[in-house]
Structure formats: structure tokens, C-alpha cells
Structure 1
Amino acid sequence: MSKIQNPILPGFHADPSILRVGDDFYIATSTFEWFPGVRIHHSKDLKNWRFAGSPLTRKSQLDMKGNMNSGGVWAPCLSHHDGKFYLIYTDVKQWHGAYKDAHNYLVTADSIEGPWSEPIYLNSSGFDPSLYHDDDGRKWYVNMIWDYRSGNHPFAGIILQEYSEKEEKLVGPIKTIYTGTDIKLTEGPHIYKKDGWYYLFVAEGGTEYEHAETVARSKSIDGPYETDPNYPLISSRGNPELEIQKAGHGSLVDTPNGEWYFVHLCGRPLKEKYCTLGRETSIQKVEWTEDGWVRLAHGDHFPRTETEAPDLPEHPFEPEDPKDDFDTEELNGAWNSLRVPMDDSWVSLKERPGYLRLFGRESLSSVHHQSLVARRQTSFYSTFETKLDYDPEYYQHKAGLVVYYDTEDHVYLHITHQEDKGRVLQILRTVSGEYEEVLLPPVRIAQTGSVKLRGEINEDKLQLFYQDEEMQDWKKIGPVLDTTHMSDDSAPDVRFTGTFIGMATQDYSGTKKPADFDYFIYETKER
């Protein structure tokens, strides 16, 4: 019997929304402050997945300049009706404290590859919106509603309102249809219909180690909804020995053969706590009981690292080439920028063919205009390497290799200039916003020519290396660094993303000095 190994989308792929159209399965996941917005993966068998595209590629669809860390795109919902794809998403501007400035939008496309439309604004009453297409052609919109008032529970329940496609807006009365269970923190709603019942799936317990997914049902879409007496459907809480933790926030899909599966958010901690890869996507087979409730097929509430594969032909995809030579006219879908799209003002594959040229802009602490291009870390055992040409003139010039969680936590091996040494290598480490120069003094390197930079991550340890044109072999630089500060779990407040690895450059003087990167290699390995 074939098995699916979890997670099916390793690395930062949170809040999965799964959809089947014919024989094709799609999963949309959150991207938060990373651009382009929303990642969609495609599969034919629920086992093998490939990146299929990012719908939000234009500033007119998603403008996150200035968004705070872990703001941006939360919990997208992907659906399909009458030959059209619908994507609902939230752009969260501010989320710390009493208020949630969260704006919800809809875009559509005739093909999953796009082009996707300009956004239709829906509402701002809460986050985690979802769209359900009923049998009679009516469309129903749900989201959690946020209550900022003192003395009230901020997760105030799930609201329902009709969406008019003709008028391109929400219409009619707003009704609270569900307020959750004693687990509380009810969010992430999705509606499904089966055998005359409307099923409401919601995430509960927050997105950390108390996370869960609960199911309720009603004969009418506007309720009242009855909670499954055997709730939650899935959770890792109370079982710290599980490899897969934080199970919750997910969605449901059936196969052409009538089998059912549930995809869900999860995390894999190191040192019992730190999920340095971020929140990932796993899948579990589910079954329906005779009395009409859904259960994990293996019989309890806990997620498994493997689940039974569906009775479908396997469709493996070609593995990703670990080396990007930057020989194409556009960067491939693995690469991301922070908050704003890549454009000719700061990134180019044409000015020096065969190289990625980045023009120096703001610091790694900026929430506006960084020159950083990065990809997800997808394994606890990763190696990565780049080669760059860069001749800094001042200490305000930097370029190099970055391991990045957010503006508060990152590690940066970079070339810069020091008055008494000329061209040098320095490691900048920021932990909880505290700036540290790891190399005191910085390491003088060859004053001309290309420099290679390399990193190795083994679970929670990072070792950096370099090689200039005067060297034959790689040389370690700096101490072994702990990476657990680059995780959801290391900050005083909850965070939602994951570790990225890539290239960056800064020019604090404002002259946009360029750095040229010849290639980038990212490889994963076994323990």
C-alpha cells in the first residue's frame, strides 16, 4: 500500500486551502510579507507536488510596503465554479495589540496560471475569509470577526454574508453563524456540503502548540451549527512526542474515486520547541462515519507522518535543479522578495547576462525597500552557495549571503569595506532586534575578484564558509551559530513565517551600488 510522507509541502507553507478541479489538485498557502503573494502547488495524486504559480504578482493586487513582520497575506481560500478560479485573501497591515487592520479581497482567473484579475475589495471586519459556491448558484462569504473591546473575547465568531458576483460586493445581512468551542480562538472557516448537510470547518486554539481543527454542521447554511461531539478533528496538543506538532487550520477535498483527505497546517520542532522551517502543510486521509461526521482514517485525533495514498496513478514531477545560473529572463518561482515586487529599479537579469544584479537599497531591518531575493529553507539539513562580484567603496556598502526570518532575526555573511583593511568579510547577526557584528575584527580577503560564500545548516546549527580567488579550498568563517532564534517560537509574541535563504545588498549612502551574483545553489541532504 502506497503512503504519502508528511509534510507534503515542507518549509514555510502555512494555512493550506485545497481544491480539486477534475483530476487536478491545487493547494494555496499563505505568504505573509513575502512577495509575490500566495503560493499555489499542483498535484495529480496528492503525493507529488510542484509549484504552479503565485497569483498576486502586481503592486495593484498587493501593496505591502510598510507592513509589519508577519503581516501581509494571511490564509487564502482557493475555489472554482463554472470554469473560473476564485482566490480570497487578507492583507494584514497591523496585527499587534488590540486592533487588526486586515483587508479582504477577491481575485479571479480562467486558468490557475493566470492572469489573475485586479482585486475586488470585500470587507475588513476580520481575517481568514472564505468563499462557498452553493448548488443554487448563490455565493456565500465567511470570515472570523475581530472584537477589540476590553472584556470581550477578540475572536468573536464566524460571520456569513452573501457575495453578489454581478455587483462585485457583499450584499444582504451579516449573521454570526458559529462562536466555536471551549478551545476558543475560532478562525479559518471553510464551508462544504455533503448529503444535505453544510459542514463548517474552523481552526481553533491559536496557531501554536494548542492548535486544532473543529467541525460543525447544519441543514441550513446560516445555521444553527452543531459541533461534532467528538471534536476536535485533529490536534497535536497533549502529545509532545509527536514529530508533527501545531496541527490545525486546514481544508477538505475528495478524489475522483470518492476518497477524502484533509490538508492541514503543522510544525516540526527542534529542541522540543523551535520550528525553524516555519509552519508547513501535511495531509491525512479521512473517512465519514455512518452518522455523518468526518474522522481521521487512522482512528484518533493526532496527525501522522505518513498517511495512506489515494487509489490514483502516481505522477511524480521532475526534481528541481539545485543550481540557478541566472541565465533566464525572469527568476523562477522559488525566489521571493520582501513586501514589494521585483522590478528594474533594484533587480536585473539583463544588465549583465548570466548574473543576478541587485542594486543596494535599505537595511535588513527595513519594512519598505530591501534588496533581498530569497527562497524557503525546506529541510533541516541544507547547504547553499553563491558567487558574487562586489567591490565596496565604503562601510555603507554590503552584499552577500543571508539566512533570514524577519527584520528582527537574521544572519548575514557579507562583503563590505573597512578603512584600514579594504575589502573584508563580516557576519552580521540580529537576534530579537539586537545588532551584533560576529567577527571582531572582520576578515580581510582578496581585494579584487569574485568571492564564493557558503552555508551549511544541520538542524539548529549554521556554519558559514568562504573562498576568494587566492584560495583553493573553502574556509570556515565565524563560529557555529544557533538558528533557533529564526523561528516562530523564539519571539516574545507569536510569529507566522519561516526561514529563508538568499542574496542581499545594501547601500546606505543612497547611490544604489550594484552587486552581481553568478549563481545560487540550494541543496538538501539526509541526516
Structure 2
Amino acid sequence: MRATIHNPILPGFNPDPSICRVGDDYYIATSTFEWYPGVQIHHSRDLVNWTLVRRPLERASQLDMRGNPDSCGVWAPCLSYADGLFWLVYTDVKRFDGNFKDAHNYIVTSPTIDGEWSEPIYINSSGFDPSLFHDDDGKNWFLNMQWNHRTESYGGAPKTPAFDGILMQEWNPVSKSLIGPVRNIFAGSEQGLVEGPHLFKRNGWYYLTTAEGGTGYDHVVTMARSRSIEGPYEMHPQVHLITSKDHPDVPLQRAGHGQYIETPDGQFYHTHLTGRPLAPHRRCTLGRETALQKCVWQDDGWLYLEHGGVVPAVEVPAPADVAEIKKPSKVETDFDSVELPFEFQWLRTPVPERLFSLATRPGYLRLFGRESIGSWFEQSLVARRQEHHAFRAETVVDFEPDTYQQVAGLTHYYNRHKFHAVCVTLHEKLGRVVTIFSCNGDFPHGRLSFPVQSGESVPVGRVHLAMEIRENDLQFFWHADGYRVWRPLGPVLDAGVVSDEGGRGEHGSFTGAFAGMFAFDTSGRGKEADFDRFSYEVL
């Protein structure tokens, strides 16, 4: 019996999947937004088992997002292979709210996925979601959506007129520049909000897939084709290849934005992003994830989902019989290496040595207290993706604050408006305490609440911190070093607010939830906090 692909194939925050095959190897690049290093690349040889192998944008010259607002940064990369090189096209978005996006597009290359990637080549700033198509005549074509600022399209409330079609221009790899006329080749369907273009060629036809409908519950993959790369493009008989927009009860919602791929033996698949909402509020706490659908070509020369219709399936046939490798239910990190474990990232800055060190105190992750939790510039927060609706995270912190302005702890984090944190700090009367900071999506102010007020006094020594998330519920725990009984701290909190739809709602933000360690010192003295370990366990 043929193996099964279980969707999502990349759980947790892994949106806008661009897939590329080189021989028997498949690679998927996904957006990372404000998280550093930029772009996640996963590898597979069977489309069933995937491993994170690279985050290529790792130097200041390639990516510096200090000051980028929440949900800005790296949008919708495109990964391709031609002429002995991997090509990665990406956008660094510098603004979200208001009429402007300030979206700058770049290309980097590498002969190998896991090697060092080149210095970036600036391309244009006319819109976001760029892609690069290598035609069989040797020409290369650069595509991106065009952003029209003359509209009432603001962050959280997108309007169709701002998404002004798909632009295409020839890319010259010798001059490393765009050449020739700029053409608007596709206005999109009546669904509107056209973005995320990807081109491929088959049997003399140019096929264009785009994302439409915004990245919420009306999201779709739209398909069109033309005999000429310049168009005009005719719509797919169904208009949309993949969507859940008219089926609110299916497991995979928000389906859209993906790319077509063929296997070496002539089977056909299409990636797409998806979300798995939790009842009763339909909030996607895991953000936008990556899924994969089996497709077929029919006699009319159009691609269709193999199982029929447009609604994505949770389980689809794999290309061949292969065993699925089960991931461990618990991952424990002891910080014994001088390199940060691969599952962790930080926010915005290309200067991580200002935020953390694994060498200063061997066996510990040392965080240097910088700006406040939620800063857009220099925030000491090291975290990993939430990949399950129910999990437990634990850490141990060695931290002796001198003032209430120095804080360190464990957080369930989305952005500066949506997070919960259990932390150690100093109180003028109680001494060192463990307490809770919470921000329930209060946009634009980001006001904190303090569910346990001043908190509970903590004896001398290290402090063990934990949190359990069970779908929409979060409970914090703690105990002092030398004790073995976990004590709950505070009430059950709303974990569902740490989601795409939390706070100001759909389209207001679109990344994903993280669990991690943080420290800040708003006195400016850079007080350090040492973390002995971190564990993530599926419940």
C-alpha cells in the first residue's frame, strides 16, 4: 500500500510554501517575517518526512529587520534551481499599517542549500511576493504583485484596489538587473487581492498560480494559463485550484498561496498554506502551516485535485511507499553547545551576540537584558515554534534582578500585542518574585495586565518555570530550586489570543505562536539571565 502524506507537512508557523525539486531532493522555503535568521528551508526525499536544513538569510548585509513592525520582514520567498545554482527571491517589508508597504525585493544564490548564500542583489520595490521563473529558452522572468497605495487598504482590512495585478519583467543574470518593459500580466479573478505568483510551463502552456482573497478564511489558490508568457491568461474552469472558503467545517482552513511540483516519475503535487482553527472562536494558534495536495492533469489540459473538488485533504497519497518517521514527543535542550539549537530563532536583529551567548557560561543560554518584551529593535527573546495544540514547555532561570525594570522568564509569544509571560523580577517590598505579564491583543496600545499583581516571593536560587497550553487554555507553573512540586501560578489564561485572529482579528497579523525564554532590562544596564535548559513536550 502506498504511504500517506499527513497534512500539514510543516506544522506550526510555516506559511507561503515555495517548493523546488532537484533530482530526487525536494525543498520547501517558507516565510519567517520578523524572525531571524530569515527563510526556513525544509528538505525531503519522499514528500512525507521533512527536515529543517537551512535558514540562509543570516548576515546584516542580507537582512536587517531592526525597526520592522510586527508581521513585516520576510514575506513569501521563492526557491528555484537553474544553471547550477539555487535561487532565493524574497521581500523585506518595512511597513504594514497605513497605505504603504515599502516592500524591497532581493535575490540571493548558492550552489548548495546548506552552504553560504551570496550577497543580496536588490531588484525592485513595486510590490511583494516575488518569484523567479527560468524559462526553457534560457530567459529568466521576475514576477511580483504590484501595490497601489491610492486606496483605503490598511493593515487588517485589505482592499482589492491595492492589489494591482501581477507584474513581470525579464531578469538578466549577467547584468544582475531587470531589463525590458514591465508588464502587468494578470489582474486576478473576482476573488481579488491577487498576490503570490508562481509560473511553470507544460506542453507549450504557461501556467500561473496566484494567491487571492487575503490570507484569512477566504484564501484561495487561483490558476490561469496562456500560450504566451505575456498573456492574456485564461482562468481555470473552476477558477480556483484549492480553497476552503465555502467549507467552514473542514479541518484545513485558509487554504491558499502555494506552488506546483512534479516528481521524477511524473506525479503531481501542489503546496499551499493552511490554518487549523480551534473552536469556538476559529483562532489559528499555530499560525499558517504548510500542506501538500496530490493533483492530476485532465484531458482539458488543466490541473485538478486528485480527490476532486477544491477542498484540501488532510491525508493524500505519497509518491511511493515509505515509512513515516515519527518525531519525538519531547525535545529537551541543555544548551551544552556553543551554537543555538536549530529549532530556535530570535527577533529582527543580525547582531545576536548583543542578545545572547552560549559560551559565556558553559551549559547555559545567557540572555542579556535589552529593550522591553515587544520591542521592534533589540529584544532578547529566544524561542521555538508552537507545533501542537497541546504542549508543555519548561525552563530553569538563574536571575538576580536589582530593580523591577529587570525581568526574565518564559513566554507564550506572538507579537508585542499578544503574549503571556511568567517571569522573575524584583518587588520593592516582597523582594524577588515570580509574576505574570499578559497582553491580550490590545492594539494599538499594547497595555499589560498583571493577573497575579505583584506575584509570589521566591527564595534564593534558580527558579523553575513551566507553562501548559491545552488548545485555548494556558496555565503557568513554578517552583524554586531544590523543590520538586510544581505550583500553579495565576488563573487559566486565554492562549487563543496568541494567534493570527487574536486581538484585532483576521488580517491584523499573520505569523504564529512561539514558546521561549526572554529577558529585558529597561534600566539600560543589560542585566543577564542564565537559562539552564528548555523542554517542549507534546501533551
TM norm structure 2? 0.95
Aligned residue number for residue 217 of structure 1? 225
Contact (CA 8 Å) 2:427, 2:454: kept in 1 or not? no
Q: Supply the distance in 1 between the matched residues of 2:68 and 2:352 (Cα, whole angstroms).
A: 19
Contact (CA 8 Å) 1:276, 1:486: kept in 2 or not? yes
Shift of 1:346: 2.5
Q: Supply the distance in 2 between the matched residues of 1:49 and 1:382 (Cα, whole angstroms).
A: 21
Aligned residue number for residue 236 of structure 1? 244
Counterpart code for 2:313: R
Counterpart code for 1:263: T
Counterpart code for 1:268: R
Shift of 1:342: 5.1
Check 1:513–1:426 CA distance in 2 against 1; reply closer, same or farther (3 A cut).
Answer: same
Q: Tell me whether 1:42 sits opposite 2:12 in the alignment.
A: no
Q: Tell me whether 1:441 sits opposite 2:441 in the alignment.
A: no
336, 357, 362: which one aligns with 1:348: 357
Aligned residue number for residue 202 of structure 1? 210
Alignment of 1:462-501 (within 5 A): 462-469=474-481, 471-492=483-504, 493-501=507-515
Q: Tell me whether 1:62 sits opposite 2:70 in the alignment.
A: no
**Secondary structure of 1:153's match?**
helix
Counterpart code for 1:294: L
**Per-residue Cα deviation, 1:334-386 (whole angstroms, up to 9, x for no partner):** 11111113532221111110100011001012100101101100000111100
Contact (CA 8 Å) 1:49, 1:317: kept in 2 or not? no
Q: Supply the distance in 2 between the matched residues of 1:138 and 1:313 (Cα, whole angstroms).
A: 37
Q: Supply the distance in 1 between the matched residues of 2:355 and 2:185 (Cα, whole angstroms).
A: 47
Contact (CA 8 Å) 2:417, 2:503: kept in 1 or not? no
Aligned residue number for residue 148 of structure 1? 149
Aligned residue number for residue 124 of structure 2? 123
Contact (CA 8 Å) 2:433, 2:454: kept in 1 or not? no
Q: Supply the distance in 1 between the matched residues of 2:204 and 2:342 (Cα, whole angstroms).
A: 41
Counterpart code for 2:524: G
**Secondary structure of 2:497's match?**
coil
Alignment of 1:370-409 (within 5 A): 370-409=379-418
Contact (CA 8 Å) 2:27, 2:42: kept in 1 or not? yes
**Secondary structure of 2:404's match?**
coil
Aligned residue number for residue 235 of structure 2? 227
Shift of 1:230: 1.5
Q: Supply the distance in 2 between the matched residues of 1:15 and 1:35 (Cα, whole angstroms).
A: 17
**Secondary structure of 1:214's match?**
strand
Shift of 1:95: 2.0
Q: Supply the distance in 2 between the matched residues of 1:375 and 1:342 (Cα, whole angstroms).
A: 19
Aligned residue number for residue 518 of structure 1? 532
Q: Supply the distance in 2 between the matched residues of 1:461 and 1:418 (Cα, whole angstroms).
A: 28
The aligned length equals 524
Aligned residue number for residue 9 of structure 1? 10
Counterpart code for 1:348: S
Q: Tell me whether 1:253 sits opposite 2:227 in the alignment.
A: no
Check 1:100–1:344 CA distance in 2 against 1; reply closer, same or farther (3 A cut).
Answer: closer
Counterpart code for 1:118: E
Deviates more, 1:437-446 or 1:387-396: 437-446
Alignment of 1:295-334 (within 5 A): 295-311=304-320, 313-314=322-323, 316=325, 319=328, 322-334=331-343
Counterpart code for 1:462: L
Shift of 1:483: 1.2
Aligned residue number for residue 136 of structure 1? 137
168, 171, 176: which one aligns with 1:160: 168
Q: Tell me whether 1:413 sits opposite 2:422 in the alignment.
A: yes
Contact (CA 8 Å) 2:473, 2:494: kept in 1 or not? yes
Contact (CA 8 Å) 1:45, 1:315: kept in 2 or not? no
170, 187, 199: which one aligns with 2:178: 170
**Structure 2 gap ranges (5+):** 153-159
- State the 4+ residue runs in structure 1 displaced beyond 6 angstroms: none
**Secondary structure of 1:94's match?**
coil
Counterpart code for 1:16: P
Aligned residue number for residue 199 of structure 2? 191
Contact (CA 8 Å) 2:330, 2:537: kept in 1 or not? no
Q: Supply the distance in 1 between the matched residues of 2:299 and 2:242 (Cα, whole angstroms).
A: 19
**Per-residue Cα deviation, 1:50-107 (whole angstroms, up to 9, x for no partner):** 1011010111100100001100000000000121000000000002121121000000
Shift of 1:314: 4.5
Counterpart code for 1:96: D
Contact (CA 8 Å) 1:44, 1:315: kept in 2 or not? no
Counterpart code for 1:497: T
**Secondary structure of 2:257's match?**
strand
Aligned residue number for residue 283 of structure 1? 292
Shift of 1:316: 3.7
Q: Supply the distance in 2 between the matched residues of 1:243 and 1:281 (Cα, whole angstroms).
A: 14
Q: Supply the distance in 1 between the matched residues of 2:69 and 2:181 (Cα, whole angstroms).
A: 33
Q: Supply the distance in 2 between the matched residues of 1:75 and 1:116 (Cα, whole angstroms).
A: 18
Check 1:242–1:442 CA distance in 2 against 1; reply closer, same or farther (3 A cut).
Answer: same
470, 473, 483: which one aligns with 1:458: 470
**Per-residue Cα deviation, 1:231-288 (whole angstroms, up to 9, x for no partner):** 2101001111111100010011111111011110000001251001100001110000
**Secondary structure of 2:49's match?**
coil
Contact (CA 8 Å) 1:263, 1:283: kept in 2 or not? yes
Shift of 1:434: 2.1
Check 1:419–1:275 CA distance in 2 against 1; reply closer, same or farther (3 A cut).
Answer: same
**Per-residue Cα deviation, 1:431-472 (whole angstroms, up to 9, x for no partner):** 2222111112311111x1111101111001111100102533
Aligned residue number for residue 519 of structure 2? 505
Counterpart code for 1:518: D
Q: Supply the distance in 1 between the matched residues of 2:498 and 2:232 (Cα, whole angstroms).
A: 43
Contact (CA 8 Å) 1:405, 1:500: kept in 2 or not? yes
TM norm structure 1? 0.97
Aligned residue number for residue 369 of structure 2? 360
Check 1:343–1:259 CA distance in 2 against 1; reply closer, same or farther (3 A cut).
Answer: same
Aligned residue number for residue 293 of structure 1? 302
**Secondary structure of 1:484's match?**
helix
Q: Supply the distance in 1 between the matched residues of 2:173 and 2:329 (Cα, whole angstroms).
A: 39
Contact (CA 8 Å) 2:37, 2:57: kept in 1 or not? yes
